[in-house]
């Protein structure tokens, strides 16, 4: 893809302690994309802490999760001198823009938004009133997300499938503002699915998720990591039986995290038969250690020197505000006829 002079933006919500699935599905692709984009365009990456407040009211917990995610991105290679990297709550322009966008957002859009609908479905399934426990932050969260995107004249938003609709809502809101004032007040963003992102199965074969208790933690100590990898579910086929790798959970996990040559070796070992599951687990463990050892050290450093990270985030917020300010002025000029 050609990113010349384009602004690419990603937001990440701090929701839980990080696992290898987050790394393979979100962190690694975002950082790779950042490196590509920064050659000729602008990469914006932020920690969506105001989005998280909708769900997390435990302040020390939210602070800790926000810290962890900022440190994780930096440890895994995000370059804060190249990417604009900040915490959403440090950019007040976003909230002013959110208020403006509210007046142009049909309420029906919110009724149809996935996150809200999922919460309603859950309530109905439990026999509760449909809006039980749902706050206005969750209900209107696509509007804040639209502000996140529109505030920097973002061209493209890399997303997983579940977020496509939210970018479409942002594009719709921007489009109707432009139509109303008959000029390009806001840039219309598009979304694209990140190709390199993969969904990693967890140790029991379901999607890796904290709620299933099937995760391989991202920055865990050796013994914790080992326990998780050794606990990956296996079947009881004969070691010598030729197997179809695509049906073997260990292979699916290896494909997400191990280097190509190791993946090839495992594939061959399974197809021919003779390679035991214990051997494969050791290869996976080694691959994770090779990939993560240095990153874990950096992660630990950043966590224990968070003042340095804080400085980086503050510098990022200064850059983000400088980008958002003229966009906000343009919008206000249009809507107030200044």
Q: Write out the residues near ligand TRP by the rule CB under 6 A.
A: 9-11, 13, 48, 51, 145, 148-149, 157, 163
Nearest approach, Cβ of residue 249 and ligand TRP (Å): 26
Q: Which is nearer to ligand TRP, 149 or 216 (CB)?
A: 149
Q: Which is nearer to ligand TRP, 159 or 232 (CB)?
A: 159
Nearest approach, Cβ of residue 13 and ligand TRP (Å): 4
Nearest approach, Cβ of residue 160 and ligand TRP (Å): 7
127 in helix, strand or coil?
Answer: coil
Nearest approach, Cβ of residue 87 and ligand TRP (Å): 12
- Find the residue with minimal CB distance to ligand TRP: 11
Question: Which residues lie below 8 Å from residue 181, measured CB to CB, with a gap of 6+?
Answer: 334, 335
Q: Which is nearer to ligand TRP, 157 or 328 (CB)?
A: 157
**Range list of H helices, 182-276:** 222-230, 249-257, 260-272
Question: Which residues lie below 8 Å from residue 292, measured CB to CB, with a gap of 6+?
Answer: 218, 219
Q: Which is nearer to ligand TRP, 10 or 194 (CB)?
A: 10
d(CA 45, CA 80): 9
Nearest approach, Cβ of residue 10 and ligand TRP (Å): 5
Nearest approach, Cβ of residue 9 and ligand TRP (Å): 6
* Pairing assessment for the beta strands 156-159 and 190-193 based on DSSP bridges: parallel
Place of tokens 């074969």: 205
Q: Which of 317, 320, 3, 326 is nearest to 156 (CA)?
A: 3
Q: Which is nearer to ligand TRP, 136 or 236 (CB)?
A: 136
Token pair, residue 152, equals 């920097």
192 in helix, strand or coil?
Answer: strand
d(CA 334, CA 338): 7
Q: Which is nearer to ligand TRP, 147 or 288 (CB)?
A: 147
Provide the residue count of the chain. Answer: 338
Nearest approach, Cβ of residue 128 and ligand TRP (Å): 23
11 in helix, strand or coil?
Answer: strand
Q: Give the distance from CA 161 to its chain's centroid.
A: 12
d(CA 267, CA 189): 41
Task: Work out the number of other CB atoms within 10 angstroms of the CB of residue 91.
Answer: 26
Q: Which is nearer to ligand TRP, 48 or 185 (CB)?
A: 48
């Amino acid at each position: 893809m050609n990113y010349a002079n384009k602004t690419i933006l990603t937001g990440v919500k701090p929701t839980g302690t990080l696992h290898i699935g987050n790394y393979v599905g979100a962190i690694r692709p975002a950082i790779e994309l950042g490196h590509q984009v920064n050659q000729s365009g602008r990469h914006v990456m932020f920690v969506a802490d105001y989005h998280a407040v909708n769900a997390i009211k435990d302040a020390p917990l939210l602070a800790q999760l926000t810290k962890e995610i900022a440190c994780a991105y930096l440890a895994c290679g995000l370059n804060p001198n190249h990417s604009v990297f900040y915490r959403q709550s440090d950019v007040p322009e976003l909230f002013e823009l959110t208020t403006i966008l509210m007046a142009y957002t049909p309420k029906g859009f919110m009724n149809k938004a996935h996150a809200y609908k999922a919460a309603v479905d859950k309530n109905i399934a439990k026999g509760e009133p449909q809006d039980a426990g749902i706050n206005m932050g969750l209900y209107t969260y696509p509007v804040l997300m639209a502000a996140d995107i529109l505030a920097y004249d973002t061209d493209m938003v890399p997303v997983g499938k579940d977020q496509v609709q939210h970018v479409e809502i942002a594009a719709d809101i921007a489009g109707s503002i432009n139509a109303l004032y008959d000029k390009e007040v806001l840039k219309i963003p598009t979304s694209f699915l990140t190709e390199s992102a993969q969904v990693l199965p967890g140790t029991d074969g379901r999607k890796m998720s904290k709620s299933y208790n099937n995760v391989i933690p991202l920055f865990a100590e050796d013994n914790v990591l080992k326990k998780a990898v050794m606990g990956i579910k296996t079947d009881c086929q004969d070691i010598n039986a030729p197997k179809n790798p695509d049906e073997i959970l260990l292979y699916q996990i290896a494909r997400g995290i191990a280097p190509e040559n190791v993946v090839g070796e495992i594939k061959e070992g399974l197809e021919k038969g003779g390679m035991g599951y214990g051997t494969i687990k050791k290869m996976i463990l080694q691959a994770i250690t090779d990939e993560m050892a240095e990153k874990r050290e950096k992660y630990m450093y950043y966590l224990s020197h968070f003042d340095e990270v804080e400085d980086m985030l503050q510098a990022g917020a200064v850059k983000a505000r400088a980008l958002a300010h003229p966009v906000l002025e343009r919008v206000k000029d249009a809507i107030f006829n200044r």
